[in-house]
A and B are shown apart, each in its own frame.
Chain A
Amino acid sequence: MAENLEEFTRAAAPPHVFRQWFMDKLFMGMSVREYSRSIATPFNLIAALILAASAPVFYMRYVHGLASVVDASNYYPWGILLSWGIFAGEPLYACGFVMAAAYYIFGIKSFRPFVRVAVLGGMLGYIFAASYLLIDLGRPWRIYYPTIVNFGTSSVLFIIAWHVVLYITVQVLEFSPTILEWLGAKRLHAWAVSATVGLVVGGIILSTVHQSALGALYLMTPGKVQPLWYSSYLPVLFFSSAVYCAMSFAILLVYAGVRYFKDKSDEAFLRGAPALTLKLGKGAAIAMYVYFALKVLALAMDNRWAYLFTGWGYWYLVELLGFVAAPMLLLTLAVRRESIGLVRFAALWAAAGVVLNRFNVNIIAYNWYLPQHFEQIIPAPTEVMMVVAMVTFQILCYRWIWNRFPVTRELPEYRNAH
């Protein structure tokens, strides 16, 4: 009788049950004191300082307007918020679709332990890319306008808006099995898993279109973008560079897993990481040869050779030789020698090259002919501050999820479920 009563009280005590759930899921089973001690690290201190320092900048942005925090003008309407947040960010976050395609569609079974971390990288990345828009749009509260209120069907940006919205949805659904496993919702989990292949094909389509659309946006700027960077190939160049950028970013994410989330990763992930790094490195190298050839073809198509021997040409060669050809050759060498460390370094270099390319198209070579161009494109310190704060916050979010969700480990009850 007494036992029954006790059982009854336990079952009818949601606060207690909820507390247990809360401690398990959010504090990773630690007590409040243990948890607070575990987060008191130098990294977190620096992160907290950065976020605290950026708070007044964000306050200025939303209370006093964009003019108080960015140096935008008629000639330079977009700055590093969009160049970094969207144009450089999205090729990195293509890792979700590239890895999901490799595993679910092409059936490369050995990619299995690494798909989720890539999908997480993509999903969170895209959510952050959209967040940069919430800073940079003049009227961020109207962010849904192109998808609901009125349609600019001739607009490349309209295409991008729709694709980003749909792709974020697809990625959240793709990632949902992980969330549902964390929550322990088995029936929903089975449904979510059954939809995966369709979602992945959708993701491939949406990514292909919108990665190339980011380049197509600049098809509309003849004369404004320096002729070496302006090409009718822009959509293809943006898409093909996104493919190897994505693989490079996946290599780096897996490295982060091995290096910083060892205790949150299972054997399959940790043991498979070197082989995966080599495979992705090989794939990235092949994609880089394709991209390099397309870059040269673009020069030849538009007969831009003469520009190579100007100041702009030298800068172009720094990008093409120093940030495409060099990491490409290093990657080839590293894969041949099976040097994991070198593959990772080359991947970082290759990804940096794509970021540089987007900055070149967006900022450095945009309105290149204007007087005082180079003084105009230096970003305001407040704009840099916002970007640094966003990157910090993004890393914290990755870590928070990675620590709690079964990202690089399989829960025993869901083995072989995806």
Chain B
Amino acid sequence: MSDDKKDKDKDSKRDAPGATGRLTRRKFLGLSALAGAAAASAPVIARAGQSQGAPEFGGWPNAYGMLSDFTLCVGCRSCERACNEVNRLPAPDAPFDDASVFEQSRVPSAKAYTVVNRYKTGDPSRPIMYRKIQCNHCLEPACATACPIHAYTKTPEGPVLYDKDLCFGCRCCVISCPFSMPAYDYESALDARIVKCIFCYPRIKEGKQPACAEACPGGALTFGHRAELIEVARKRIAGHPGRYIDHIYGEHEVGGTSWLYLSSVPFEKLGFPAGLPNKPVVELAKGFISSVPVIFTTFPAIFGMVYGIARGNEKAATKEAGEKEAHHG
């Protein structure tokens, strides 16, 4: 009996150095495997996070919107002029009645909240269409989601506003905006800032409509409550068969935008981005963001455990080695 025990002891002692060697190797493989396991488990965590995310927002009730009907736009650029005057923007590069600007495709810039572009549609019944471009004032704006300093606010009235006193100029809003609308003023070293349409927020607060809508002579811009504008747009589509394609752009795109559009040709032909999801951009990152606290709570336990095991093995190995030495000595 006691001999048996002695033998066992001997065996374990004999194994000790070899065992440590194996453990080291195993531990190393464990490291690599864990790197893989952590990588593999992250989507699970992310997916778990998605289901527990904040409830859907869906936009402020009674928010204002604008219906922009491209079939009624004649490309007069009155909206550009009115916007420039009301918002006291710098003088334009070319006068507002200069039609040569249509030769190129323009985007809103540090000097202009809005521009009108001309598109060749390839449709014989309507070969040329004009499109007014400005910030779409999303119901759940990607810019506001992306901003690390919360310099953007979605007001209950509808406008998405930007506070240049908070901005540090990372331009992540520009990266994230599905429509690439925020324009960054790169020209200034000290006063660099984002410039974009403010949906005439001060005028809306005064009960007026935005300057562009007031200036539009063709009735292409209709200002009102967004919910009602969707009804108006539906009636127009139903009431004028053949005039419109059956799509109100902005009703669902990226969770809905305050600006809504009607057209007689597919919106891609007017330079609208294709492939946008119908859910707000914030939803795409929510899963990741909600997985962060999970990592913070689980990792200390996981790696604490790994450390404990590694430490325990090491102690056992040294102890056994020490005992063996004592035995021999």
Residues of chain A whose beta carbon lies under 8 Å from any beta carbon of chain B: 61-67, 70, 72, 74-75, 77-78, 98, 101-102, 104-110, 133, 137-140, 142-143, 145-146, 149-161, 197, 201, 204-205, 208-209, 212-213, 216-217, 219-224, 227, 232-233, 235-236, 239-240, 243, 279, 282-283, 286-287, 290-291, 294, 367, 369, 371
Contacts and interface: CB of A to CB of B under 8 A. Distances in A.
B36 A220 contact: no
A153 B149 CA distance: 8
Contacts of A142: 167-169
Contact of A220 (B171, B189, B274, B285): B285
B275 A223 contact: yes
Given A77-B175, A236-B43, A101 B31 contact: yes
Contacts of A161: 148
Interface in B302-317: 303-304, 306-307, 310-311, 313-314
Contacts of A140: 168-169
Interface of B, helix, strand, loop or mixed by DSSP: helix
Given A154-B145, A221-B176, 9 more contacts: A152-B147, A154-B289, A156-B285, A159-B289, A220-B142, A224-B180, A236-B40, A236-B42, A239-B42
A291 B40 CA distance: 9
Interface of B: 24, 27-33, 35-36, 38-40, 42-43, 46, 105, 107-109, 142, 144-151, 166-172, 174-176, 178, 180-184, 186-189, 192-193, 273-277, 281-282, 284-285, 288-289, 292, 295-296, 299-300, 303-304, 306-307, 310-311, 313-314
| A-B CB proximity, top 10 nearest | A138-B169, A107-B310, A138-B192, A240-B39, A67-B186, A77-B171, A142-B168, A158-B148, A77-B174, A290-B36
Given A109-B24, A145-B166, A150-B151, A157 B39 contact: no
A72 B282 CA distance: 25
B303 A217 contact: no
B274 A223 contact: yes
Contacts of B151: 150, 152
10 contacts: A67-B187, A143-B168, A152-B149, A157-B170, A161-B148, A213-B288, A219-B288, A224-B180, A286-B32, A290-B39
Given A109-B24, A154-B145, A235 B304 contact: no
A74 B179 CA distance: 10
B109 A235 contact: no
Q: Which of A107, A212, A243 has the most CB of B within 10 A?
A: A107
Contacts of A294: 39-40
Contacts of B186: 65-67, 70, 72, 138
Contacts of A209: 292, 295-296
Contacts of B192: 65-66, 138-139
B284 A233 contact: no
B171 A212 contact: no
Contact of A137 (B36, B170, B181, B285): B170
A227 B171 contact: no
A70 B169 CA distance: 14
A219 B178 CA distance: 12
A67 B73 CA distance: 34
B303 to A, nearest CB: 5
B281 to A, nearest CB: 5
A106 B148 contact: no
A400 B189 CA distance: 33
B38 A239 contact: yes
Contacts of B174: 74, 77
Contacts of A201: 299-300, 303-304, 307
Contacts of A291: 39
Contacts of B303: 101, 105, 201, 204
Nearest to A70: B186
B259 to A, nearest CB: 17
B273 to A, nearest CB: 5
A54 to B, nearest CB: 17
A227 B274 CA distance: 12
A205 B31 CA distance: 15
Contact of B42 (A104, A160, A212): A212
A372 to B, nearest CB: 10
Nearest to B169: A138
Contact of B289 (A156, A233, A240): A156
A137 B273 contact: no
Nearest to A240: B39
B175 A212 contact: no
Nearest to A244: B35
A146 to B, nearest CB: 4
Given A139-B169, A149-B166, A107 B311 contact: yes
A247 B145 CA distance: 34
Contacts of A108: 24, 27-28, 31
Contacts of A290: 35-36, 39-40
Contact of B307 (A146, A159, A197, A217): A197
B189 A146 contact: no
A286 B31 CA distance: 10
Given A155-B147, A220-B142, A102 B178 contact: no
A74 B112 CA distance: 13
A152 B168 contact: no
Nearest to A157: B148
A366 to B, nearest CB: 8
A208 B38 CA distance: 9
A160 B166 CA distance: 18
B150 A151 contact: yes
